[in-house]
Amino acid sequence: MSSPVESKADTIAHLRRRMAEIPARTDGPTRPSSAAFTPTRIDDAAKRDPISPLRILSAPDPIARLLPHRGPVRGSTVHLSGAAALRVGLVASVTGSGNWAAVIGSPDFGLLAATEMGADLARCALVPDPGPDPIAVAAVLLDGIDLVVLSLAGANVPPSRARAVTARVRSSGAVLVVTDGSWPTVDLHLNAQVAGYRGIDTARGRVAGFDLAVEARTPGRQPHRGVVTLTGHSGGVTWESGPAVPAGLKVAQ
């Protein structure tokens, strides 16, 4: 039986070989300017130019409307919590727009839901069991993948480890999304909770869609909140801007 060290080395070597087969990013890696994380007043949100000069990845439109630059900025780290539909939607939007995504440590990731949201699964790398060091696997994938979604499985990542990975995120021009754990410093927090269901048929008990109350927070800026509606239909799942955030509803952290 191989030792844990050998298994880890074999896993990383295999990932590097797979990444060599992936076409290079058309944009090429970049380090975002400091403007990427400049605090933005809520009052100015409606006045901003919808076309950001920064390089960003795609996001479902109702989510993009909550973000300062209308999408995750390349070179940034995002913490995501709450409803799993958010991570599925991000992967679907990124791969559906022609970029690459990887999902690490999420064996229950909703592939069917991602497909219904428009994902291109041929552009999605799945590592459901990354072994004892999923952060090392993520660090390797950051060199060739546009969006890396990393489940921390409840871990609290030490600042020294996080700084090294964050530096790699910025130099590679990828976006790292961390879930199910604590990352000491991030550029964007996205949190969501189910706010209601739609299309319940009393005779059959069917649900045609649901509302998500979403909160986007960036350092030095007040939270921006909204409700988005996911609706299922014969052609898949659509994301739409929903009603105003219900009074007194607080998005779970």
Residue 41 domain-assigned (yes or no): no
Rounded Cα distance between 223 and 136, Å, is 32
Residue 192 domain-assigned (yes or no): yes
For the chain, give the percent of residues with pLDDT over 70: 71
- Say which residue the tokens 């439109």 belong to: 61
Tens of pLDDT, residue by residue over 138-168, are 999 999 899 999 999 989 999 999 999 999 9
- Say which residue the tokens 């409307």 belong to: 65
**Looking at residue 44, what is its pLDDT?**
39
Residue 221 domain-assigned (yes or no): yes
What is the pTM for the complete model shown? Answer: 0.77
Tell me: pLDDT of 15 over 90: no
Tell me: pLDDT of 33 over 90: no
Residue 171 domain-assigned (yes or no): yes
Residue 6 domain-assigned (yes or no): no
Tens of pLDDT, residue by residue over 80-96, are 999 999 999 999 999 99
Residue 3 domain-assigned (yes or no): no
> How many residues belong to the chain?
253
Q: How confident is the model at residue 198 (pLDDT cuts 50, 70, 90)?
A: confident
Q: Which of 187-191, 218-222, 246-250 has the lowest mean pLDDT?
A: 246-250
Nearest partner of 12 among 127, 108, 121, 177, judged by Cα: 127
Give residue 14's region: left, alpha or beta (phi > 0; psi -120 to 50): alpha
**Looking at residue 204, what is its pLDDT?**
58
Q: Give the chain's domain count.
A: 1
Residue 19 domain-assigned (yes or no): no
Listing DSSP states for 95-129 in one string gives HHTT--EEEES-TT--HHHHHHTT--GGGEEEES-
Rounded Cα distance between 21 and 10, Å, is 17
Q: How far is CA 235 from the centre of its chain?
A: 23
CATH number for the domain that contains residue 208 = 3.40.50.300
Tell me the residue range of the domain where 152 lies: 55-241
Average pLDDT value over all residues in the chain: 80
Q: Is the dihedral of CA 104, 106, 112, 115 positive or negative?
A: negative
Residue 33 domain-assigned (yes or no): no
Q: Could you count the other beta carbons within 10 Å of the beta carbon of residue 120?
A: 18
**Looking at residue 49, what is its pLDDT?**
38
